[in-house]
Chain A
Amino acid sequence: MANILVVDDDRDVASALAMLLQLDGHTVRYAEDGQAGLEALNGYLPEVVCLDVDMPRLNGPDLAYRLIVEDAGKELIPIILVSGVANLVQVAQEVGTPYFVRKPFSLEAIEVTLARALKEHCAPHPPRKEGFAVEPRR
């Protein structure tokens, strides 16, 4: 069973997600936005981060980017984007994660994607582009 950080500014969505993961036997921590998620990752190394996209203070993609910039090992944590944004596939490509689930999600979609992420351990790897000089450590 895994340690999972859920980052979502919608408490009802986050608590439903956390409830599912806990009932499946995982240990869950919750952060209410990207900034809180970044702070939660100080001294905490979950196996997976379930990350909303559009959040106040610090959004999901920016949190992923900050982890890459910090280059402190947390950029290797697989990220599952869980969001209702219309362009979720594009956002996932920009973040460089193969894992994403669209809201409103089914429990099965979360479980299947989580199992994949825990098995493959695919870290975010944003495509190189002009002005984006930082590459994730491999």
Chain B
Amino acid sequence: MSLADRLATERRRIVESWCSRAGTEIPADIRALGPGISTVLEDILESLLSRASDPRAARQPVGRRARGLCVERSILELALLRRVVFGFLESGSTLAPEERDVILETLDGYTDDIVSNATPSHEPRHYANEWLEMAVRAGGIGAWRWDPGGGRFEVTRNDRYNQIMGIDPTGSWTSDKLYKIIHPDDVAAVRAKFEALAAGRADHYEALYRVRHRDGSIHWIQAQGRSVRDEAGDVVRLTGAVRDVTDEMILRAQRDQLVATLSHDIRNPLAAAKANAELLRRFGPRMGDQDKPLETIVSNLDRADRMIGDLLDMSRMEAGHKLELHWCDGDLAKIAFGAVRELSTVHGDRFRLDVAGDFGGRWPCEAFQRVVENLATNAEKYGDPAAPVALHLSRTGKSVVLAIHNEGAPIPPELYKGMCEPYVRGSDTHLLGSKGWGLGLTVVRGIAQALGGHIEIESREGHGTTFRFVFPAG
């Protein structure tokens, strides 16, 4: 999808998110100084959209309409708008450098436009540095500056820079020290760009790299810099900014992983269905029993459909909606037996189900089937392959309890909390070689919440792992 299409799609959510965050993230004393950019927000987004469609298009200045605006508030709000725009556009995919440039150029242009046209509440020269400092602080940005002198490439920087780079705030800081904390795979590219900037071969510098903090943790850094030249064209100063984008990179990696896993996993049921259909077409009666390939086709198309269903449900839950449950007359025991029978055709005879009590009644039948399938599939995937997966359906007081137990390595307790988050899959140490969309438990938790129930996890060395899906009966 093009940048313009993505902007058009996300426009409403960008405005909503900006309005919501501006009310909480811009300090009240700044908001009290005067009006911000809300009156020109739609114009700014319209111009951004226009330039995203055609980067050669001119930015539409707000000009006179900025006259009543408060500079301090507007600068902070524009910094927030930039974060919101990048947050939405980079949450699902990576922006190309030229796309980033269009956004940055357009929004930065409005900063200049508003500063030069708006009505400052104080003397602008006196407060210019404060506004900048506020904007830098609001953006969580680390700033650095290099003024040549003494031949050493020594850098002055703000506190946020020290925090972002994980360095000693008291010591001197040079480019050589910077290269030492940058990941070996990234250092050559950063060095080349930085040296080109310092030597005047480039006016602008942009890099994404990893650094190791003093505590050993690895962080992703997005860095920008530019050179300032004198009248003779010589570089007299370098300035720049850094931002810790580790969380964004983790989210991006998780989404990339999801897309890769999704494309792989959904191809398995499609492959089985397609191959069986082709076999029937080509060989027909020579295959003997033709019911089996037909059943395989249907069950695999159902499997693909369920995977897409999980993905859609996860998306709904991420948007803050509860899962919709469809209630019908049914028997939970029969549903569980049916799910186990189907899983056995795919994974083999590994499942043992026992039922204590009568479970006829009105239930969210389809959702319960997905719970059985997701939890049993997880147990099969992550449990000891030589041991059976035990399912037990019972009542405890006014609750229905579905317990699913597998033998094998326990889940470390520190993983319990995040296990139901989307895209979380087993770590290499705990669940080596396992696979899946990482959505199964998220969906199960969503169903539990929609039912007013919960999930319990019990996992100990030598005792295996038990998941309990507990929900009120009736």
Contact = CB atoms under 8 A, between A and B. Distances in A.
A105 B276 CA distance: 11
Nearest to A58: B433
Interface of A: 10-13, 15-17, 19-20, 23, 32-33, 54-59, 83-87, 102-107
B300 A103 contact: no
Nearest to A84: B267
B457 interface: no
B456 interface: no
B105 interface: no
Most chain-A CB neighbours within 10 Å: which of B267, B279, B286? B267
B282 A12 contact: no
B346 A106 contact: no
The majority secondary structure among interface residues of chain B is helix
A13 B271 contact: yes
A20 B272 CA distance: 12
B268 A10 contact: yes
Contact of A104 (B270, B347, B381): B270
B300 A23 contact: no
B267 A103 contact: yes
A115 to B, nearest CB: 16
A83 B266 CA distance: 11
19 contacts: A10-B268, A11-B346, A12-B269, A13-B268, A16-B271, A16-B293, A16-B296, A17-B275, A20-B279, A58-B433, A84-B266, A85-B264, A86-B259, A87-B260, A103-B267, A103-B271, A104-B273, A105-B271, A107-B282
Contacts of B185: none
A106 B278 CA distance: 8
Given A19-B287, A84-B268, 14 more contacts: A11-B346, A11-B348, A12-B268, A16-B271, A19-B293, A20-B279, A23-B279, A56-B434, A57-B432, A84-B264, A84-B267, A104-B270, A104-B271, A106-B278
Interface of B: 259-260, 263-276, 278-279, 282-283, 286-287, 293, 296, 299-300, 345-348, 381, 385, 432-435
B409 to A, nearest CB: 13
Contacts of A57: 385, 432-433
A102 B267 CA distance: 9
A58 B385 CA distance: 13
Given A16-B275, A56-B435, A23 B269 contact: no
A33 B385 CA distance: 11
B385 to A, nearest CB: 7
Contacts of A55: 433, 435
B346 A12 contact: yes
A56 B271 contact: no
Nearest to A108: B278
A107 B347 contact: no
B264 A54 contact: yes
A12 B433 contact: no
Contacts of A20: 275, 279
Most chain-A CB neighbours within 10 Å: which of B259, B273, B278, B345? B278
Contact of A12 (B272, B283, B287): B272
Contacts of A105: 271, 274-275
Given A104-B267, A107-B275, A23 B260 contact: no
B435 A54 contact: yes
A56 B433 contact: yes
Contacts of A56: 381, 385, 433-435
Given A54-B435, A85-B264, A13 B272 contact: yes
Contact of B283 (A17, A23, A59): A23
A40 to B, nearest CB: 15
Nearest to B433: A56
Contact of A86 (B264, B273, B296): B264
Nearest to B347: A11
7 shortest interchain CB distances as A-B pairs:
A84-B267, A12-B272, A16-B275, A103-B271, A104-B271, A103-B267, A104-B270
Given A23-B287, A56-B433, A107 B272 contact: no
Nearest to A82: B271
Contacts of B433: 33, 55-59
A23 B266 CA distance: 26
A100 B293 CA distance: 25
A16 B283 CA distance: 12
Nearest to B276: A16
Nearest to A23: B283
B265 to A, nearest CB: 7
Contacts of A84: 263-268, 271
Nearest to B261: A54
A16 B268 contact: no
Most chain-B CB neighbours within 10 Å: which of A11, A12, A86, A104? A12
Contact of A107 (B279, B381, B432, B435): B279
